[in-house]
Copies of this chain bind each other. A is one copy, B any other.
Amino acid sequence: MQLHQASWPEVEAYLKRSKGIVIPIGSTEQHGPNGLLGTDAICPEVIAKEAGDEAGFLVGPTFNVGSAQHHLAFPGSITLRPTTMIAAVNDWIDSLVRHGFTRIYFFNGHGGNIAPVNAAFSESYSAYSLDGEACPYQLKLENWFTLPGVQPLVRELFPEGEGGHATASEVSVTYYAYPEAQKQVEMSPKIAPTGPIRDAADYRRRFPDGRIGSDPSQATPEKGAKLVAQAKRAMIADVKAFFEGQA
């Protein structure tokens, strides 16, 4: 069930059988010459939707703009400052907790979100820890690309040129989701350079077309379908364990 297409009585009924919800969380940022700006939001969104439909859990709206300051030298990238992101994630959490959700699973598509979301969780728990009260809910952050079985499949599909940003795998997932948005672009060099991530100007100087270590010209909808299938399977198991309090 997708929350944005449900009515409140339907969510009320859901809460009688489960206190868990999944929130896809991504970013809107450049993904190289042939990748979509929405890649990091689309990937967790599409996997979460299929998983939620199959396993019957509730999927909330996608947190679609995240922490992406380092991509701002490429047009179209949008960022939240980390402190804004911490505030926003806490408002989402507080709203969901108010309804009785006790397991909130943030399903992530963007490495740059990991630090601010973990900081947001710590901010959320701090209120209880400083008050000396037990926190009534549990928070979890999981990336689709680190779920069990995903990286082995990635290495099988892309023995070379998976890379670290604008990866062959994530572009494939978006091509599976929006085949009409595929873009044919010659990559030069074939495999992009690698290096550390700092501010936006430094990033563009090091990675002139936005890619890090990747050759996303290998991306296809078919490979995306395989990745989604594997990630979905792994995610359903992970979500179930978390919702049942075993995670």
The count of chain A contact residues (Cβ–Cβ below 8 Å) is 89
| Interface mask (A115-128 → B, CB under 8 Å = 1, otherwise 0) | 11011101101101
Which residue on B lies nearest to A120, using beta carbons? B82
With A64-B4, A132-B98 already in contact, the answer to whether A88 and B88 are too (CB < 8 A) is: yes
- Which of A49-57, A65-73, A152-160, A218-226 makes up part of the contact surface? A65-73
In the assembled complex, which residues on chain B have CB atoms less than 8 Å from the CB atom of A244? none
A-B contact pairs, 16 of them (CB 8 A): A3-B38, A3-B76, A7-B185, A8-B30, A8-B75, A62-B64, A67-B122, A69-B122, A70-B122, A72-B98, A75-B99, A83-B83, A94-B130, A115-B115, A125-B200, A129-B199
Inter-chain contact A76/B64, CB cutoff 8 Å: no
How many angstroms between the C-alpha atoms of A198 and B138 in the bound complex? 7
Which residue on B lies nearest to A31, using beta carbons? B7
Which residue on B lies nearest to A95, using beta carbons? B78
